[in-house]
Amino acid sequence: MDNMNRNDLPMSEEDRKKANTLCIISTILLVAPKILSCIGTFISSTITGEHISKFLYSALATRMVSSMMSALYGLSSLCTIASLVLMIIVRVKYPKSTYGKVLMWIFIILGIIMILAFLMLLAFCISCSNSLKGCPG
Amino acid sequence: MTIHVSETGISPYAICIVLSYVIGYTYTFVQMRRDNVPKSIYFYTLMLTGFCSVYLAVIYTRCTSGAFGISSMGAMFGMILGIVIMTYIARDYKHSIMTAYITALPLFYSISKIGCFLVGCCNGKLYSGPFYVEYFGTPSHIQPGRLFPIQLLETMVFFLIFCFSYFYRKKRGSNCVTIILCGVSKFLLDYLRMSHANQIFSVNQIFCILTIIITLVIALGKHTYSKDLTNGYKKSS
């Protein structure tokens, strides 16, 4: 027993529960904003579509929906960072957590997809890679 | 010196951004492995700082200019945010993470500025003296006339800061000195940019001032804390 180091010891039930709780919160933070963004995009396209002339104060409604969508997209990215932070906390403090390992691989795959998408964008969308209107330094 | 900016082919700006990340992260990997930081901790730090830097690079541009683009200042702030978060998670390796990444910050920035130089963005004021640069091409951001090569100057200055911080990285307070040097340099160099016309302080300069103040407060706080600890130890012994 004395020769076993910390990494060889199985996870205690309490640690497992804490790890799983953090992983569940991380998953919710990763997925929920994306779902809300999709719902929001659907609602905004419905409101600002053909029905716009039927709404009173349609300009105000469009602006409100547009502001809400911007806030939602910003929140989505913040939630993704928070989700990533929680996953890293689980992997550092509870390295034996299987849920944590799965989440890590999800993030790795998402990261690879994002990098590949960025590289393809560079290769095939020259006007996008040259878009430098907002390069304040 | 004249540079023709083409709209065909892969943008050298994008290549330099990617190169700055590759070289910067390679440097931090070597430094952290020298300090026996586990590869897993390095990997998590890379993920977190990478994501935060890209996120803040886009948000900074969106907030300051209203357009879509990426900003080196935003990326640096994002990286610092990622480093700070990671030092709270992996406290055992706090010093190694901080030293490796803060030393590398000017390196990231200096390489990315080469990209700006090659495509003519973040350009300097009108200037006809030695080493002026003139851009030709169809992209809308191209500024006509002879310009000061501020991007090259920033590359050189920040590379020198990187060299200084690399050689003094083991000295106490070197991280704070590096950040203050970066802030002061960026503040002063911003006066030579075309976008600084008709302003007392630009948005970048305001953020530089805030960064310097926060760093000084943290440095003084640490100094006072360690002094109190030493005095308390002396009294008890």
Segments of chain A with pLDDT less than 70: 1-9, 44-62, 122-137
Average pLDDT over chain B, rounded to an integer? 86
| Tokens at A73, concatenated | 């997209």
What per-residue confidence (pLDDT) applies to B177?
93
Closest-approach residue (CA) in chain A for B124? A137
Whether chain B has a CB inside 8 Å of the CB on A129: the answer is: yes
Confidence bin at B58 (pLDDT 50/70/90): confident
Tokens in use for B92?
A: 């055992």
A129 CA to chain B: closest CA distance, Å? Answer: 6
Which residues lie closer than 8 Å to B158 by C-beta, 6 or more apart?
B106, B107, B109, B110, B113, B182, B185
Query: Which helix or strand (DSSP H or E) is residue B133 part of?
Result: strand B133-137
Residue A130 lies in a domain: no
Q: In this model, does residue B44 exceed pLDDT 80?
A: yes
Q: Is residue A6 part of a domain?
A: no
pLDDT band (50, 70, 90) for residue B11:
confident
Question: Does A94 contact B at CB distance below 8 Å?
Answer: no
Q: Which of B134, B214, B153 is nearest to B179 (CA)?
A: B214
- How many domains, in total, are found in chain A? 1
DSSP state of A5: -
Asked whether residue A67 is domain-assigned, the answer is yes
- Does residue A88 lie in a domain region? yes
What's residue B60's pLDDT? 84
The reply to whether A2 falls in a domain is no
Q: Is residue A69 part of a domain?
A: yes
Say what the pLDDT of residue B64 is.
75
Q: Is the ipTM of this complex over 0.85?
A: no
> Which chain A residues contact residue B141 at CB under 8 A?
132-133, 135
Q: Across residues B107-121, what is the average pLDDT? A: 89
Could you report the per-residue pLDDT of B151-204, keeping only the tens digit for each?
999 999 999 999 999 999 888 889 999 999 999 999 999 998 888 777 788 888
Three-state DSSP class for residue B147 = strand
- Domain assignment present for A137: no
How close is the nearest chain A Cα to the Cα of B67, in Å? 5
Q: Which residues of chain A does B140 touch, with a Cβ-Cβ cutoff of 8 Å?
A: 133
Asked if A107 has any chain B CB less than 8 Å from its own CB, the reply is: yes
Nearest-Cα distance to chain A for B169, in Å, is: 26
Q: Say how far apart CA A122 and CA B165 lie, in whole Å.
A: 33
pLDDT at A20: 93
**Rounded distance between C-alpha atoms, residue A71 and residue B108, angstroms:** 30
Residue B48 with chain A: CB contacts under 8 Å = 81, 84-85, 88
Query: Which residues of B fall within a CB distance of 8 Å from A132?
Result: 13, 69, 119, 121, 139, 141
Euclidean distance between CA atoms B52 and B73, whole angstroms? 12
Q: How far apart are CA A26 and CA A90, in angstroms?
A: 10
Among the residue ranges A89-98, B96-105, B133-142, B181-190, the one predicted with the least confidence is: B133-142
Give me A136's structure tokens: 């304040």
**How many contacts, defined by CB atoms under 8 Å, are there between A and B?**
103
- Chain B interface disruption, residue of A30, A109, A132, most B CBs within 10 A: A132
Name the residue range of residue A108's domain.
12-123
Task: Note the pLDDT of residue A3.
Answer: 43
Would you list the DSSP string of B25-57?
HHHHHHHHHHTT--HHHHHHHHHHHHHHHHHHH
Measured at the CA of A50, the angle between CA A48 and CA A53, to 5 degrees, comes to 80
Q: Which of B131, B129, B126, B191 is nearest to B3 (CA)?
A: B131
- Which strand (E) or helix (H) includes residue B135? strand B133-137
The DSSP call for residue B5 is E
Look up the pTM and report it. Answer: 0.83
Dihedral angle sign, alpha carbons of residues A38, A44, A50, A51: positive
